[in-house]
Structure 1
């Protein structure tokens, strides 16, 4: 396998909201969906039960990264919710260290749920990180 296609290489994620980049993140969790089902018993067929889909739910997505200058873009996006809710589309792209794309997820009706800034405590030195959680109504191309 060529080294530029190594699936074990370092991956980072970019978040774009309606075409505007909010920067790169080194962690992404929660790209998931669940299909709820309902059981239906067919008359006269006692050995079989239909599993019918009823609702699809999507988990919140949690993006983490060290503190960067793009933090101000995230803060501006979250602050814009107070002036009226618009639900833009978004894209999360998984990229290799050389910038080539591994995968991409389109998200419908994105809304910021929470943002946690860095803990700036001189008694516990470490990388200052931020965490952004977003919710959405589904995946798209």
Structure 2
């Protein structure tokens, strides 16, 4: 029976005596069609939900059958401080003019050295809402923030991403063992 990637990683971690600490959620990049579109302060909506259909069976009173159905995805919300780079707003403005151009978006989680360790591909995204900054003269240190909301056709965490995270974890473990000797 072949050993799975997660099981292999767990065995290697145990043998090397390495801690696998979680990555920080403030260290990420966003790409649109393979091009870095600037830095964002938040990304929300990397989630999915399987709708369930329930079915009662006559004579079975202990539970209801639950069958998986359609998968739904909330909007992906990207927020950042306003800069002169207006790639996302320009894309949104084209959609407002009727130029529906769906694009693939990738959200990459980085390690402390700013190397991508895993990523999620958002398929066929389309901006449907843009929110500009709020202005308030009484808050002289507040950053002007804009956000864009994207509808899309699904989120996948590619096999290559999962392999990269496992390789990164093993590499970190080997580096820890070498440094401690």
Q: TM-score with structure 1 length normalisation?
A: 0.80
Partners in 2 of 1:58 and 1:33 — Cα distance? 5
CA distance in 1, matches of 2:41, 2:111: 11
Counterpart Cα distance in 1 of 2:112 and 2:146: 21
Greater share of strand: 1
Instruction: Note the aligned Cα RMSD (angstroms).
Output: 2.4
Distance in 2 between residues matched to 1:7 and 1:133, nearest whole Å: 27
- Greater Rg, structure 1 or structure 2? 2
**Cα distance per residue 1:46-85 (max 9 Å; x no partner):** 5453211121110112222222333x11121112212421
Larger helix fraction of residues = 2
Alpha-carbon distance change, 26 to 6 in structure 1, aligned in 2, over 3 angstroms: farther
Inter-partner Cα distance in structure 2 for 1:54 and 1:13: 32
Give the deviation of 1:44 after TM superposition: 5.8
Please tell me whether the aligned partners of residues 46 and 155 of structure 2 are also in contact (alpha carbons under 8 angstroms): no
Distance in 2 between the 1:106 and 1:25 partners? 16
- 2:110 aligns with 95
Q: What residue in structure 2 maps to residue 130 of structure 1?
A: 146
- Structure 1, unmatched stretches of 5+, are none
Q: CA deviation at 1:10?
A: 6.0
Partner of 1:139: 155
Which residue pairs with 1:73 in the alignment?
A: 87
Measured in 2, the distance between the counterparts of 1:117 and 1:21 equals 21
* Greater mean alpha carbon deviation, residues 94-103 or residues 56-65: 94-103
Stretches of structure 2 that go unaligned for 5 or more consecutive residues are 1-17, 159-181
Task: Note the C-alpha offset of 1:8.
Answer: 5.6
The 1:89–1:73 alpha-carbon spacing in structure 2 relative to 1, beyond 3 Å, is same
